[in-house]
Chains A and B, each alone.
Chain A
Amino acid sequence: MNAPRNDADIQQSLFEKRQKIYPREVHGRFARLRVISIITLLGLFYALPWIDWDGRQSVLFDLPARKFHVFGLTFWPQDFLLLAFLLMLAALSLFFFTAIAGRLWCGYACPQTVWTEVFLWMERMIEGDRIAQMRLDNKPMSWKKFRIKATKHAVWIIFSLHTGATFIGYFVPIRELTSQIMTLELGAWATFWMLFYGFATYGNAGWMREQVCIYMCPYARFQSAMFDDDTMVVSYDAKRGEPRGRRRFDDEEKRAQLGDCINCTLCVQVCPTGIDIRDGLQYECIGCSACIDACNDVMDKVGYEPGLIRYTTQNLIEGKPSRIIRPRIVIYGTILLSLTGLFIYIAGTRTPLALDVIRDRNQLYRESRGMIENVYKLKIINMDEQPHTYSLSVSGIDDIRLELEQAKIRVDSGKVMALPVRLLVREDTLTSRSSDIEFTLTATADPELSVSEHARFIGPMP
């Protein structure tokens, strides 16, 4: 095997001017897997906002109304902790799967890979295969070349705009959005973000492609920290393949001297990041396994065993024992499991009711007829799917009296109510200038649905 490249080489190669990469089309087991993954993910992305749930868009991160709808569940800014938890879980899962099987995410699920594949497919439909594309790019500009290129970019741009509009459809109701686009009445901000996302799609999937993974992706930078010698990675079996070389199939003597690699370079031609997997594990490899498919195809044709390039671990390649269960996996797995459990617990015991107590800032307290009065503003948020009537009580001081301006506290689903409240206490029951009190709000129909909130009652010095 060639010596692994050192940091300076990588640094140097990163700074070189980019040569356009023309990945060759590939067929095989992993290519099929990737296509299935792409169709599923993009299908979900483009279809989800159009599917309704309980008479409402199934997934809608309604930023203008400050609430997120996910299949009948409604999340509020108060649920921010849950969202942060979810992001942490996503990051940990990424670590876990990277430690087991390398860059699965990059090869099959990352939006960058998924959209790039679609753009490559469109490019192939319009410009032809790899050879035709290279030939076209080497030709001087002509009417025909201009027409082909213009068609490609027009198709890319239309697809990108559709992508941008769909993306905005996750934040603004998509049916309204579509009719606003049709009648050219879309607001300036939404238009801006639609074009922004559309442009990002066009630029990243059409032009930048593998450069996003190599230069811009933070995960690509630190993913090697999750790797060890037992991680499944796409590897070239140098022991079996070397010395590589072209051969005639009737030349038995030469065949016997050479390894299994016939040096057809197909593995390099299919690589979307343009590397040679035979140089060993490289930072640029996104684990898409296109080279595995290409090589197996060739091995089959020349009558060798498949798997010269395959998913395997560094230990197995070196003939050492390899294990899946190891401290790294156990640690990642334990943290992942316990956080998932905690998340389910928090999400499951979440009360769809919130109460905020704000003291009236104008006046600390008021005295009237031997009574001390404090004024509060209560903010009640009904995060449940149905309207509720609530009863309010307060405790902490003997004989504390609660006065409301309205007889019934009724809040509609998903609404916020501001409720002014007066508390009256006999002056002689106060033992200190500031006393702890507690408001409790309970749904009349469901005593389980209840929240409490602390506040302070201020009076004169006793």
Chain B
Amino acid sequence: MKKLISDISAIPEPYQFISILWLSFLMAGVATGIFFSVIDPMQLEACVDFPEMGRIGAYTTGFFLFWILTAASSLLSCYFILPRKGSGAGDQSKADQA
């Protein structure tokens, strides 16, 4: 297996940006398309107490909500790839070797 990146600063900034914001932007676009082709925001407005914003406004808000969610997911993935600081993992195998 390839060595995991051990430190977030080892990943150049443009890559941090692209792997989190850009890819989640693409996925948010797909999610928005599917969601709003099934659900009409006007019907949604009728049953939930939303501020009046019209369809375009609802699509835009929906898109950004999806983007926040997908970006949060990407961010967590990137964060969880990093090993925990002060982790004891790996100590046992070292002990076994000794």
Contact = CB atoms under 8 A, between A and B. Distances in A.
A77 B57 contact: no
A80 B32 CA distance: 13
A417 to B, nearest CB: 15
A192 B57 CA distance: 10
Interface in B35-64: 36-38, 40, 53-57, 59-60
Given A77-B37, A218-B26, A189 B18 contact: no
B37 A215 contact: no
Contact of B40 (A77, A215, A218): A77
B35 to A, nearest CB: 11
Given A15-B12, A66-B55, A215-B18, A80 B38 contact: yes
Interface in A189-236: 189-190, 192-193, 211, 215-216, 218
Interface string B7-18: 000001011001
B36 to A, nearest CB: 8
Interface in A55-108: 63-64, 66, 77, 80, 83
B15 A15 contact: yes
Nearest to A172: B56
Contacts of B37: 77, 80, 83
A28 B34 CA distance: 44
Interface residues of A, number: 18
A66 B56 contact: no
A164 B11 CA distance: 33
A319 interface: no
B85 to A, nearest CB: 24
Main secondary structure of the interface of A (DSSP, over half): helix
Is chain B's interface secondary structure helix, strand, loop, or mixed overall? helix
Contacts of B40: 66, 77
Contacts of B55: 63-64, 66
Contacts of B54: 64, 187, 189
A77 B38 contact: yes
Given A66-B40, A80-B37, A215-B18, A189 B60 contact: yes
B56 A63 contact: yes
A32 B57 CA distance: 43
Contacts of B26: 218
Contacts of B38: 77, 80
Interface of A: 14-15, 63-64, 66, 77, 80, 83, 172, 187, 189-190, 192-193, 211, 215-216, 218
Given A66-B40, A189-B57, A216-B22, 19 more contacts: A15-B12, A15-B15, A63-B55, A63-B59, A64-B54, A64-B55, A66-B55, A77-B38, A77-B40, A80-B34, A187-B56, A189-B53, A189-B54, A192-B60, A211-B14, A215-B14, A215-B18, A216-B18, A218-B23
25 contacts: A14-B15, A15-B15, A63-B55, A63-B59, A64-B54, A64-B55, A66-B40, A66-B55, A77-B38, A80-B34, A80-B37, A172-B56, A187-B54, A187-B56, A189-B53, A189-B54, A189-B56, A190-B56, A192-B60, A193-B60, A211-B14, A215-B14, A215-B15, A215-B18, A216-B18
